[in-house]
Amino acid sequence: MYLIPAIDLIDGKCVRLTKGDYNQKKEYNSNPLEVAKAFEGAGIKRLHLVDLDGAKAKKLVNYPVLEKICSQTTLSVDFGGGIQSDEDIKIAFESGAKQITGGSIAIKNESLFSEWISKYGSERIILGSDAIDGKIAVSGWQEKTETPLFDFIAHYISKGIQYTISTDVSKDGMLQGPAFDMYKDMQAQFENLNIIASGGVSNMDDIYQLQELKLYGVIIGKAFYEGRISLEEFEKFNATFNV
């Protein structure tokens, strides 16, 4: 299982929100490249980079940060937030993203998102499947839809999707543990899907529990920034499991 630290961007700075609420913002570092290099130094291979300004503006905003991280580290970056058009996805890939994550677009413009899966290949497109009360949430979690989470995932598996990042929004930033049951059910229902857990991780015990579910990866945000998980623990986990 990959440990995938997250860097969330507002005004080009490294921040975290609580439950996706822009009014509950905490800034951790004004230099995201410095943070990315620290992850790389701890043996991390993958990074989840989120353009929160972009998610709000519905267009890419912080792609210069993406370009900087991709050109100055060896991290494999998946990039999300505000990718709403052909131009946006082109800029993201040209800026160095290995994968892009689309959530809102997959609900609001299914034909375009499906086109991207065909054009760029399903190994480069991650389905963002974030949920509130079992229903898909979009636009930086500002909008809850009536689409059931598992129906949404099944629909896109039929179109070739291989990866999903799934967040139970109620867990995000709360440091009270991930939605273990949700991921267990998801893994049972979609055996061949590469599931990346996100939200709620509070310590290494949570990570080891998720690892037992044999998920593809786990995104770690606030627990790292609040000092509950260290770079040394990242390193130890990767060495133990030869990630």
**Calpha distance 153→167 (Å, rounded):** 13
pLDDT for 4 equals 98
Which stretches of 20-120 are DSSP H helices? 32-41, 52-57, 63-72, 86-94, 104-108, 110-120
Question: How far is 48 from 43, CA to CA, in rounded Å?
Answer: 15
Q: Which pLDDT score is estimated for 241?
A: 86
User: How many residues are there in the chain?
Assistant: 243
pLDDT tens for the chain, 243 residues: list them.
Answer: 999 999 999 999 999 888 778 888 999 999 999 999 999 999 999 999 999 999 888 899 999 999 999 999 999 999 999 899 999 999 999 999 999 999 889 999 999 999 999 999 999 999 999 999 899 987 656 678 899 999 999 999 999 999 999 998 888 777 789 999 999 999 999 999 999 999 999 999 999 999 999 999 999 999 999 999 999 999 999 999 887
Write down the domain spans for the chain: 2-241
- Yes or no: say if 140 and 56 are a contact pair by the CB < 8 Å rule: yes
Active site residue ranges? 8, 130
Residue labelled with tokens 């509070």? 202
Contact between residue 170 and residue 176 where contact means Cβ atoms under 8 Å apart:
no
Q: What is the pLDDT of residue 18?
A: 80
Residues 12, 27: Cα–Cα separation, whole Å: 11
Query: C-alpha distances in angstroms, 190 versus 94, 169, 183, 195?
Result: 32, 21, 10, 9
Q: Across the chain, how many H-helices and E-strands are there? A: 11, 13
- The CATH code for residues 2-241 is 3.20.20.70
Which amino acid, residue 118? S
List the beta bridge partners of residue 217: 2, 196
Q: What pLDDT, on a 0 to 100 scale, did the predictor assign at position 59?
A: 92
Mapped onto helix, strand or coil, the DSSP state of residue 226 is: coil
Phi then psi dihedrals of residue 102, to 5 deg: -120, 125
3-state SS class at 167: strand
Tokens 């290494």 -> residue: 204
Sheet holding 135-138, edge to edge: 131-132, 135-138, 143-148
